[in-house]
């Protein structure tokens, strides 16, 4: 449940409670369900019935309401992407599977990044060229992962889920307008799939980098640049930077 939806639920139920306190508190209006004039008893029962309807109907509408997504606010780092992805999850949504994978990718990246950095500090001093080369690659990898995650969130935010689902429910009608609109939606879906796969490829390259680092106790700068994992990572980063 998103914070916005939770806030609406809290406000609704608080208002219901406060109104009933005001109506039935002896210090205020002092209505009673059994004591008083026929008019005040009638008002009391009416208030109870309205409160019950408002509780069930209001809470139901809020819980079932599909929210307009404003996903890109307050994203300043890779860590900020996780709660935004979690807010973007909607049961049965076309992007839900990728969203869960993206969250897992961020967590895996952080673990791999920390592990590689720890091993590098065991094998090299922070001032060595070999350490600086690996650190530079890790930094670039983080930038690419972050850029991809932001791009994915942008596409999800711009995607009109309700219209897409409505078109599918009504069935696809083969006319120029519907074909063009569906083609646009498919581009969004393909983009998210490809960006998610790019992140997965980067994580695989990080595993290869970790394996190669563990094989060497010392490396010259020239040797580092020739490592297959570094070459593959540099190429992947270069291609990913063209992929926005």
pLDDT at residue 105, as a whole number: 96
**Mean pLDDT, to the nearest integer, of 107-123?**
90
pLDDT at residue 221 in the model: 47
Give the span between the Cα atoms of 107 and 238, in whole angstroms: 23
Provide the pLDDT for residue 197. 92
For the chain, what percentages of helix, strand and coil (3-state, to nearest 5) are there?
75, 0, 25
Average pLDDT over residues 169-192: 80
Q: What is the largest CA-CA distance in the chain?
A: 95
Return d(Cα 46, Cα 42) in angstroms, integer. 6
Q: What percent of the chain has pLDDT over 90?
A: 19
10 Å CB burial of residue 202 (0-12, 13-18, 19+) is: buried
Torsion angle defined by CA atoms of residues 191, 193, 195 and 197, in that order, rounded to the nearest 10 degrees: -150
Question: Count of CB atoms within 10 A of residue 109's CB?
Answer: 21
Q: At 36, phi and psi to the nearest 5?
A: 120, -170
pTM of the shown model: 0.67
Residue 233 pLDDT > 50, yes or no? yes
8 A C-beta contact, residue 185 and residue 164: yes
């Amino acid at each position: 449940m998103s914070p916005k939806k939770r806030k609406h639920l809290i406000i609704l139920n608080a208002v219901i409670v406060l109104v009933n306190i005001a109506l039935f508190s002896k210090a205020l209006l002092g209505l009673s369900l059994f004591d008083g004039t026929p008019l005040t008893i009638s008002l009391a029962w009416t208030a109870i019935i309205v409160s019950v309807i408002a509780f069930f109907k209001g809470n139901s509408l809020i819980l079932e309401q599909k929210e307009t997504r404003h996903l890109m606010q307050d994203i300043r780092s890779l860590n900020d992407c996780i709660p935004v992805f979690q807010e973007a999850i909607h049961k049965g949504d076309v992007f839900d599977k990728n969203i869960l994978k993206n969250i897992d990718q961020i967590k895996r990246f952080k673990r791999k990044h920390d592990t590689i950095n720890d091993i590098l500090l065991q094998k090299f001093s922070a001032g060595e060229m070999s350490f600086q080369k690996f650190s530079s690659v890790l930094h670039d990898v983080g930038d690419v992962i972050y850029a991809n995650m932001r791009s994915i969130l942008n596409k999800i935010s711009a995607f009109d889920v309700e219209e897409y689902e409505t078109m599918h429910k009504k069935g696809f009608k083969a006319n120029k307008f519907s074909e063009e609109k569906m083609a646009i939606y498919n581009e969004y879906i393909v983009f998210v799939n490809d960006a998610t796969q790019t992140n997965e490829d980067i994580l695989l390259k990080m595993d290869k980098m970790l394996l190669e680092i563990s094989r060497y106790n010392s490396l010259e700068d020239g040797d580092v640049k020739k490592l297959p994992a570094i070459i593959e990572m540099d190429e992947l980063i270069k291609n990913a930077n063209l992929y926005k």
